[in-house]
Amino acid sequence: MMRGSLLPRFSNSIFPPPPNSNRLRPPFLKRLSAPTAAPSGAQSRLTFSQNYRTAPNRLRSSVSESQWKQDREMATGDELQDPRIARISSAIRVIPDFPKPGIMFQDITTMLLDTKAFKDTIDLFVERYRDKNISVVAGVEARGFIFGPPIALAIGAKFVPMRKPNKLPGEVISEEYSLEYGTDKIEMHVGAVEAGERALVIDDLIATGGTLCAAVKLLERVGVNVVECACVIELLGLKGRERLGDRPLFVLVNAT
């Protein structure tokens, strides 16, 4: 976990922006230089609560000590000190009112176009799970299919797709979960995993946590030990982490 004395102090000498661009500057430096500017396009998706984990201590003065401690406890590893996090965050675009009014859609397609940010994302996950003796990487449809296979190949695990109903051709086992209106299911092939295997469940984003929780339950029903769930983005206001209970969750970027 992070310690206050280890918080890095970014500077242009450590994290230089490219010519005619400020996209790769650490997001808290942008906020200090333009405190009233509204985020748009592919600007950083890091929330303030995560910014002051990596910013100089003076940025913590505006929050309570109890809030600081609570957010620090939510930190998921030393990776949050890594300058690659800022690059990943800056590459994610937010599209307002998509797919319906009031939704701030976290668009990872812009990050996938940025080969450095995409590689950084995969590298951070691989570095975390390489020595965890994981034999299964389970990717949740659909964007879990983007991140799961390269992680699985790099750590020497098999990739298992977790799909919506009627997508897999063979015999399946399914788990139902609740939506705001109605229910849905997630499925995987019978025999894809074996009891006693150690699994990582991966998706691009956790919102309410329903799909991710169903994927975990499906694996646990057949005797698989879910080591951790991992997502690129966590939408903090929807409390998906709480729905997972005591199951570990690792995320790179927080968003609201």
Of the candidates 155, 142, 150, the residue with the CA atom closest to the CA atom of residue 122: 150
**Residue 60 falls in the annotated catalytic set:** no
**Residue 9 falls in the annotated catalytic set:** no
Which of 65, 73, 171, 180 is an active site residue?
180
152 preceded by cis ω (within 30°)? no
Which of 53, 60, 87, 143 is an active site residue?
143
Length of the chain: 256
Tokens of 27: 């997001």
Contact between 129 and 151 (Cβ < 8 Å): yes
CA atoms within a 13 Å half-sphere pointing along the CA-CB vector of 188: 25
Task: Please tell me the distance from the alpha carbon of residue 178 to that of residue 231, in angstroms, as a whole number.
Answer: 20
- Give the CA angle between residues 41, 42, 48 to the nearest 5°: 105
- Tell me phi and psi for residue 87, to 5 degrees: -65, -45
Catalytic positions, please?
Answer: 143, 180
